[in-house]
Structure 1
Amino acid sequence: MVAVAAIHGVGSDEQAWERCDWLWQQPETTLAELCAGVRRIVVVAPHPDDEVLACGGLLCAAAGIGLQVKVVAVTDGEACYPGEAWWTPQRLRHARRGELRDALADLAIDAGSIVHLGIADGKVNAHETALEDWLWQTLREDDLVLAPWRFDGHPDHEAAGRAAWHASRAAGCARLEYPVWGWHWLDPAWAHMAWEQPRLLDISAVAARKRGAIAQFRTQTGDVPRLHAHPILPAHVLIRFYRNHEVYLA
């Protein structure tokens, strides 16, 4: 399928997603089932915060049972507030790296687990082949790759998702996709047409820790001084990631 996505405005209301019976009636999966035969989880994040928003519960639970976690920060998300006098790309790059480090610490994941690739924010598609090659050389057969949904609606997400899809196939390892902006533009009534084999993971045991980790991304929630633009993650976006379940696409 080809997604024609609109990720501006308030997007699909969370209450509409709550009424999406088709999705929430899917069988639940367990961490043990998702990670059967896996020794390492590699999460590919187009921007710092994507990995925690979409996968924070799984990552926290996996770290808790001793699974190795590797976070691939594809960009530093430095282009999120164009035109801001104080929050320049250079300042955002530094701040967002720190936010990612602090958020992962809340999930019991060490900063040494992060690999910063430093690809320019908004330009991942121009480096898609290089990203695919780097991932292919990095991945192992006993990895589980978590990557953005290839039709998520944001160019960086889709390029990172495609690169991870091809690299994981070449490496022979397991892969799951996660939606971020798909929750925003997709009509819940049509979710069954877009998402094949969704897997629901109950994260209620670590949901509070995930919410604490999300709060570390202060530049994105607007909890910083001298920011005049609307935050990237206002309340109506954040609520989609405060659920007690995470959804992964096989």
Structure 2
Amino acid sequence: MVAVATIHGQGSEERAWEHCDWLWQQPETALADLCAGVCRLVVVAPHPDDEVLACGGLLCAAAGIGLEVQVVAVTDGEACYPGERWWTPQRLRQARREELRDALGALSIDAGAIVHLGIADGGVTDHEAGLEDWLWQTLREDDLVLAPWRFDGHPDHEAAGRAAWRAARAVGCRRLEYPVWGWHWLDPGCAHMAWEQPKLLDISAVAAHKREAIAQFRTQTGDVSRLHAEPILPAHVLTRFYRNHEVYFA
């Protein structure tokens, strides 16, 4: 049985994931196969940085072959540091929007690709039906939708994932799920029980661009002044997203 999701502490070590032979022995999926028949890549991100952490390599590679990219920023991630005197929700909202713009720029994606929905950080579950309806009206049959794994362990991620899954199914477009916090709480030894037929995408050709993009999220890595809280993305978390492969589920 797969463990119940718990996001605390340092989580599963990256070296344990490196030795998850079952996962890394899965066949690789070529970019051309992943995007066959697709005219637009739509990534649904519950917070600014999720799209880059999980999908930055795919986004960069897709942009490189001229595929249209749209990034749906569901929230602005403004509630990440409650109680901080300087980094108030208002400052964080503005800073994280700018960070997202700069991160996408590092992936050669224009800021015009971003759609900000402005749903309250931590409140996606309350707006799940509205998000589903918005996506249903926005998506096209020739889209490929990337959305959080519906069992990722974070309420905002799971609600966004469910909404995107249902909307994509209703429209009839292809969809893939991506893990973010699943890497943290899931026991690598149980990955085969949680993830059926994962798709591995080799991003080694664009991995440096992804790293540069991740570095733009300075409020999350702690590379800003006047922040007293522990960063959301310390080094041991970032190592999970510095790999040469990204993992998706159909």
TM-score (norm 1): 0.99
CA contact (8 A) 1:59 1:69 kept: yes
Deviations for 1:70-102, whole angstroms, at most 9, x for unmatched residues?
000000000000000000000000000000000
Q: Distance in 2 between matches of 1:117 and 1:3?
A: 32
Alpha-carbon shift at residue 3 of structure 1 (Å):
6.6
Deviations for 1:160-208, whole angstroms, at most 9, x for unmatched residues?
0000000000000000000000000000000000001100000000000
TM-score (norm 2): 0.99
Amino acid at match of 2:234: P
Amino acid at match of 1:34: L
Amino acid at match of 2:192: H
Deviations for 1:129-169, whole angstroms, at most 9, x for unmatched residues?
00000000000000000000000000000000000000000
Question: How many percent of aligned residue pairs carry the same amino acid?
Answer: 86
Q: Distance in 1 between matches of 2:61 and 2:4?
A: 34
Give the alignment of 1:113-192 within 5 angstroms: 113-192=113-192
In structure 1, the gaps of 5 or more residues are none
CA contact (8 A) 2:75 2:120 kept: yes
RMSD: 0.9
Give the alignment of 1:160-239 within 5 angstroms: 160-239=160-239
Corresponding residue pairs, total: 250
Structure 1 position 30 matched with structure 2 position 30:
yes
Structure 1 residue runs of 4 or more that deviate by more than 6 Å after TM superposition: none
In structure 2, the gaps of 5 or more residues are none
Find the residue that maps to 1:209 and give its secondary structure. Answer: helix
CA contact (8 A) 1:3 1:152 kept: no
Deviations for 1:21-77, whole angstroms, at most 9, x for unmatched residues?
000000000110100100000000000000000000000000000000000000000
Structure 1 position 241 matched with structure 2 position 235:
no
CA 1:134–1:170 in structure 2 vs 1: closer, same or farther (change >3 Å)? same
Alpha-carbon shift at residue 4 of structure 1 (Å):
2.1
Amino acid at match of 1:240: R
